[in-house]
């Protein structure tokens, strides 16, 4: 007997795709449902994932931060930059350290003019007894004028290395604007220097001319 064939239904194109349909649906919430073990495990995985990502992104060892220098690295870089400035003896570098320390101190105190006496570890240093004068203006909080006053030998040595000291000091204090002024003879030393000059004149003995 012939089969009773049912008429085929015509296929209609869907109005929206499956992805669009799922995107519009909201996730059902059950406020009265108790927390189960799967929820606790899911929260634990969420907390651990950011830490794992940080470990994978940060190849540095513990205690180091990528992109930042450790104090030892910063000191090494500073010493290497200062070594590029030629013509500075150990004595001049010690004087440079004192000037840099004073500038950092005065930048916090806001003092307009400060005079500091220099006491070097080397007892026979010509800079012992010299003074460092620091001028600081409130209108330019990061700008300083520095001038050394001392005896004749200290002034001569300082003047010879003025440009090298300017470069080295600016490298040491890169966040400040430093201007080294030409050194001057100390007021305490001026009478003594004048006395030495006068004494040399009087002690000068002219040689008798041959007849």
* The CA-based dihedral angle spanning residues 105, 107, 110, 114, taken in that order and rounded to the nearest 10 degrees: 60
Q: pLDDT tier at 104 (50, 70, 90 boundaries)?
A: low
> What residue segments make up the domains of the chain, in order of their start?
77-193
Say whether pTM exceeds 0.85.
Answer: no
Q: How many CA atoms lie within 13 A of 10 on its CB side?
A: 2
Judge whether 168 and 158 are in contact, CB under 8 Å. no
Most confident of 22-36, 65-79, 99-113, 160-174: 160-174
Q: Is it the case that residue 182 has pLDDT exceeding 90?
A: yes
Average pLDDT of the chain is 67
Task: Provide the 8-state DSSP code for 60.
Answer: S
CA dist 193 and 126 (Å) reads 15
Share of the chain above pLDDT 90, in %: 7
**20-24, 37-41, 65-69, 139-143: least confident range:** 65-69
- Mean pLDDT on 65-86: 49
Which residues, 6 or more positions from 151, have their beta carbon under 8 angstroms from its beta carbon?
126, 129, 130, 185, 186, 189, 193
Q: Which residue has the higher pLDDT, 96 or 190?
A: 96
**1-10, 20-29, 56-65, 181-190: least confident range:** 56-65
Q: For position 9, what pLDDT does the model report?
A: 60
Judge whether 189 and 150 are in contact, CB under 8 Å. yes
């Amino acid at each position: 007997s012939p089969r009773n064939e049912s008429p085929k239904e015509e296929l209609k194109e869907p109005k929206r795709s499956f992805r669009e349909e799922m995107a519009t649906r909201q996730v059902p919430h059950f406020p009265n449902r108790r927390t189960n073990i799967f929820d606790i495990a899911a929260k634990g995985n969420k907390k651990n994932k950011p830490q794992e990502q940080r470990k994978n992104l940060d190849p540095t060892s513990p205690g180091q931060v990528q992109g930042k220098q450790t104090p030892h690295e910063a000191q090494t870089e500073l010493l290497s930059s200062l070594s590029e400035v030629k013509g500075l003896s150990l004595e001049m570098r010690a004087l440079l350290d004192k000037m840099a320390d004073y500038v950092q101190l005065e930048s916090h105190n806001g003092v307009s003019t400060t005079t500091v006496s220099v006491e070097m570890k080397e007892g026979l240093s010509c800079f012992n007894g010299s003074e460092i004068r620091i001028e600081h203006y409130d209108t330019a909080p990061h700008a300083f004028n520095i001038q050394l006053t001392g005896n004749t030998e200290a002034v001569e040595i300082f003047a010879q290395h003025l440009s090298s000291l300017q470069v080295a000091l600016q490298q040491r204090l890169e966040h400040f604007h430093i201007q080294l002024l030409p050194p001057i003879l100390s007021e305490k030393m001026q009478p003594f220097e004048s006395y030495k000059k006068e004494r040399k004149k009087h002690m000068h003995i002219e040689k008798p001319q041959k007849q």
